[in-house]
Amino acid sequence: MERFVFPLSNGIVIYSEGKKVISTVESNGQKKLKSTLEKNKIIFFNFPFARGLQYFFCGIFAFFQSFSSVFSLNLNKKQNKNIIFDILIIIGTLILSILFSAFVLGILPGKLGYIIISYDGSAFLRNLLICVFKILFFVLFILLIRFIPGVNEFLRFNRASDVAALYGDFARNKKRKYPNNPTNFLNFIVFTFILDFLVVTLIGASFGFWFNIFFHIAIFLLCISISYEILYLMGKGNNFVKNVGFITSCLIYAKPSITHIETAMIAFTEMNLLCSQKDRKLMDDDNKNAFSVVYNEVKNRLANAGITDKSETDWLIATMLGKNRAEIKLVSFITDKQEQEIMKATARRVKGESLDNIFGFTEFYGLTFDVNKKVLTPRMETEILVEQVLKQEKNFKKATILDVGTGSGAIAIAIAKNCNAAVTALDISKMALSVAEMNAKKNGVKIEFLHSNLFENLKRKRKFDIIVSNPPYIKTEDIKKLDKNVRECDPLIALDGGEDGLDFYRQITEKATCRLNVGGYLFYEVGKGQSSLVRKILRENGFIEIKTVKDYNKIERVVYGRYK
* Of the residues 358, 386, 409, the one at which a domain ends: 358
Residues 66, 194 within the same domain: yes
CB 197 within 8 A of CB 131: yes
What pLDDT does 492 receive?
44
Residues 236 and 193 in one domain: yes
Judge whether 475 lies within some domain: yes
429 and 501 part of one domain: yes
Asked whether residue 387 falls in the same domain as residue 502, the answer is: yes
- Cα 412 to Cα 468: distance, rounded to the nearest angstrom: 9
Last residue of a domain, one of 301, 330, 358: 358
Query: Domain ends where: 358, 385, 416?
Result: 358
Instruction: Count structural domains, the chain.
Output: 3
- pTM comes to 0.61
Stretches where the chain sits below pLDDT 70 are: 1, 39-45, 62-94, 96-102, 104, 106, 166-179, 205-209, 239-246, 285-288, 373-374, 475-498
pLDDT at 543: 95
Predicted pLDDT of residue 246: 65
pLDDT at 179: 61
Same-domain status, 248 and 270: no
Same domain, 201 and 247: yes
Distance between CA 219 and CA 221 in Å, rounded?
5
Question: Does 28 fall in a domain?
Answer: no
**Quick one: pLDDT at residue 560?**
97
Q: Fill in the amino acid letter for 158.
A: N
Distance of alpha carbon 427 from alpha carbon 409, whole angstroms: 9
**Assigned domain for 15 exists:** no
CATH number at residue 454: 3.40.50.150
For residues 161 and 209, membership in a common domain is answered with yes
Indicate if 404 and 457 belong to the same structural domain. yes
Determine, yes or no, domain membership for 43. no
Gap between the Cα atoms of 83 and 64, Å rounded: 16
> Strand, helix or coil at 20?
strand
Determine the structural domain holding residue 294 and report its residue range. 260-358
Q: Is residue 26 part of a domain?
A: no
Do 338 and 190 share a domain, yes or no? no
- 488 and 343 assigned to the same domain: no
- Distance in angstroms (rounded) separating the CA atoms of residues 289 and 333: 6
**CATH code for the domain in which residue 350 is found:** 1.10.8
**Domain membership flag for residue 117:** yes
> Residue 458 has what DSSP assignment?
S
Q: Angle 271-58-203 (CA atoms, 0-180°, nearest 5)?
A: 135
3-class SS at 13? strand
